[in-house]
A and B are shown apart, each in its own frame.
Chain A
Amino acid sequence: MLAIYKRELKAYFHGITGMLFIGILLLFAGFMVFTNNLYGLSSSVAYTLYTSEIILILIVPVLCMRSMAEDRHNKTDMFLLTLPVKTSSIVIGKYLALLTVYAIPVALISLYPLVLGLYGEINYVTTYTSILGFFLLGAALIAMCQFLSALTESQVIAAVIGIAATFALFSLNTIASFIPSSALASFIGFAVLGIIAGLITYFTVRNLYVALAVGLIIIVPFALIFIFASDMLDSLFPTVLTLASPFTSFETITTGLFDIAAIGTLISHIVFFVFLTNQSMDKRRWA
């Protein structure tokens, strides 16, 4: 795992990708610090981070696009499988390398409050909780984009789908507010979710029965609830949508709450997508 981690980390700095990612993130965050904290005379770094989150939509997918897709393109993924290491070590090694690249600008950002603190009152607890939240938000998005990169040989496709997916998560709040709060709407929402989950499963494992099972596991319970206790479903879907977005979790943290549920959501995002990446790599062995 360490060897793979080291190789991946080097690869980001051999090329321009790593530096570009760090540079753009710092530039954007610096600009936000300037407008909010320096020019706007605010002491809230949490708000600065909240306004900075939008840049992650663009740069995280570009950072992650090569992670798995490049190896598939170069046919080195099969080679990695012949090394005496577990598939999970390969995937986690690659994930940790991405995380390290992301941790560098976040570490630099955590110096900002110290500098700002010289000239005014800073609530350090809220600030550093928010920075932790910002790190976890990025980590969650990286996990998802790494998974998307594992689905294709083409880095460009990985990046484009990654941007679309992160943007979809970002606008999940807005989408949720458009959905009627009736039980029927909730049921339809969950049904659509089940179908999407089934389709994703099908394209990942290429097994119709598994895909059907995944879809039905999601749809059937909600169908039963809808038939027998439909008022339980009132406005459930929009609420779940809102909570499922890592951006929502991060935004909750920036309000100054050390919300265990929000942090739990972010961490489960990471675990879920790293697991999926591992499965999609492992399943190529069984193809």
Chain B
Amino acid sequence: MIYNNNVCLHDGILQTKRFKTEDKLLIEVTNLTKRYGACTAVDNVSFKIRNGRIYGLLGPNGAGKSTTMNIITGCLAPTEGTVTVNGYDILENPIEVKRQIGYLPEIPPLFPDMTPYEYLTFVAEAKGVDSESVLRQVSEVMVLTGIVGVRDRLIKNLSKGYKQRVGIAQTMLGNPDIIILDEPTVGLDPKQIIEIRDLIRRLGEKKTVIVSSHILAEISAVCDHVIIISNGRVVADDDISCLEASVTPTKDISITVKGDMEGVREALLAIEGVSDVAYDSSSLDKTPGAVQLTVTVTSSEDLRDAIFFAMAEKKYAVISMEQKEMSLESIFLSLTDDTDPVEDSKKKKKEAR
């Protein structure tokens, strides 16, 4: 699949063009609601998952990500709403739905007393893979996830990273169209995280992958499309590039300059379009004899050239200068900010149970 990051969903014409070859609705979630007693974990959630992309389900802890995934995979029943997977309804045709999906829950569902080989053979057989292809599929996924070397060790003796790989290997058996991974990198070390991300990207070349996470970097590293869930509701559902573009870009500049604070300030304020200059305490650059400043810009032009020449004129050395971008981080925070902390903690308790 060739996917152009610059093409946005907002653009009607381009959208139809791009989806002409690949537009196949795989999962449709409509008005999904799940209540635990008085507590609503998922509240009227609707979204669509299309063929051949990597989706990120993002949200703070306890937002209802896992609950949504558990419902899609058929191990929880919704209170209200419908989910169809490849045209099959999860309540009317659960067996067929489960055949379409490979699912890795938050805690890898491993039997500690089996070896990865035995375990994968069991899963393949339980998924109804015919007996001639079981061996082939099992060796294929073992190669793909790099667990051939540990195939005959007991799962309980494996490291967390390998356990996670065995869990991911399991999702691919039976060749489902959709792979759902719930927080696949939690508790792994940075090297393992990179390896798992690579694996997810490789998976995404052939299949539709849904990854959930409460870590934004995770999602932006591997996903094409992000669905943000907060407090059981969908607050954003868009391509990552579109989400970034949807936020009003600022032209503010953070700058580190060698020189005295007051002189630099005056020189900067003299430039046309600069409305304010403030000391930036959050800057990581701690060069001795330099000042870190944030320049608030009102004009729509890029003022970096002007600032450079103004500084050069006064013999102030510019150590670094950077245009501030509204990052996904801030989009995420602004979208999930309006949560009620009391209700939130209640929900968390409920989920923990």
Which of B98, B109, B125 is in CB contact (< 8 Å) with A78? B109
Is B113 a contact of A11 with CB atoms below 8 Å? yes
Give Cα A85–Cα B126 distance, bound, in whole angstroms: 7
In Å, the complex CA distance between A84 and B75 comes to 11
Q: Which of B23-59 contact A (CB under 8 A)?
A: 36
Taking CB atoms and an 8 Å cut-off, the chain B residues in 56-100 that contact chain A are 70, 73-77, 95-96, 98-99
Chain B residues in 8 Å Cβ range of A79:
75, 103, 105, 109
Is B151's beta carbon under 8 Å from chain A?
no
* CB–CB B109/A75 < 8 A: yes
| B119 nearest in chain A by CB position | A7
For the complex with contacts A14-B114, A76-B109, A76-B110, 6 further pairs of A-B residues with Cβ separation under 8 Å are A11-B111, A74-B109, A74-B112, A78-B109, A79-B109, A287-B36
Indicate whether B101 reaches chain A with its CB closer than 8 angstroms: yes
Residue in A4, A7, A84 whose CB lies within 8 Å of B95: A84
What does the 1/0 interface line of A190-217 toward B look like (CB < 8 Å)? 0000000000000000000000000000
Closest residue on chain B to residue A75 by CB atoms: B107
The residues of A with any CB-CB pair to B shorter than 8 Å are: 2-4, 6-7, 10-11, 14-15, 74-76, 78-86, 285-287
24 of the cross-chain contacts (CB-CB < 8 Å) are: A2-B125, A3-B122, A6-B125, A7-B111, A7-B114, A10-B114, A14-B113, A15-B113, A74-B111, A74-B112, A75-B105, A75-B107, A76-B111, A81-B75, A82-B75, A82-B98, A83-B123, A83-B126, A84-B95, A84-B96, A84-B98, A84-B128, A285-B74, A285-B76
Task: For A83, give the chain B residue with the smallest CB separation.
Answer: B126
SS class, residues of chain B in contact with chain A = loop
Asked if B258 CB lies within 8 Å of chain A CBs, one says no
Residues of A within 8 A of B174 (CB): 84
Cross-chain contact B77 with A3 (CB below 8 angstroms): no
Point out the residue from A14, A78, A80, A285 that lies within 8 Å of B77, measured CB to CB. A285
Q: How far is the CB of A69 from chain B (nearest CB, A)?
A: 14
Partner among B36, B74, B111, B114 whose Cβ is within 8 Å of the Cβ of A82: B74
* Residue B127 CB within 8 A of the other chain: yes
Q: Which residues of A contact B118 (CB under 8 A)?
A: 10
Q: How far is the CA of A76 from the CA of B111 in the complex (A)?
A: 8
Judge whether B110 and A78 touch: CB under 8 Å: no
Q: Is the CB of A84 within 8 A of B127?
A: yes
Chain B interface size range: 20 to 34
> Do residues A85 and B95 form an inter-chain contact, with CB atoms below 8 A?
yes
| CA gap between A85 and B98 in the complex, in Å | 8
Complexed CA–CA distance, A2 and B114 (Å): 17
Q: Bound state CA distance, A54 and B36, in angstroms?
A: 44
Interface centre among A2, A81, A287 (most CB of B within 10 A): A81
B216 CB → nearest A CB, Å: 26
CA–CA, A81 and B72, complex, Å: 12
Name the residue among A3, A86, A287 with the largest chain B CB count within 10 angstroms.
A3
**Residues of chain A with a CB closer than 8 A to B36's CB:** 287
Residue from A15, A79, A80, A287 whose CB has the most chain B CB atoms within 10 Å:
A79
CA A83 to CA B125, docked complex, whole Å: 10
A4 to B107, CA, bound (A): 20
A residues in contact with B110, CB < 8 Å: 74, 76
Given the complex of chains A and B, what is the CA–CA distance between A86 and B99 in angstroms? Answer: 12
Whose C-beta in chain B lies nearest to the C-beta of A86?
B95
Which residue from chain A places its CB closest to the CB of B104 in the assembled complex? A79
Which 7 A-B pairs have CB atoms at the shortest separation, nearest pair first? A79-B109, A3-B125, A3-B126, A84-B98, A81-B75, A84-B99, A76-B109
Q: Provide the residues of chain A in CB contact with B95, threshold 8 Å.
A: 84-86
Complex CA distance for A208 and B195, rounded to whole angstroms: 50
| Residue of A whose beta carbon sits closest to that of B126 | A3
CB contacts (< 8 Å) of B114 on chain A: these are 7, 10, 14
Partner of A6, one of B101, B111, B122, B127: B122
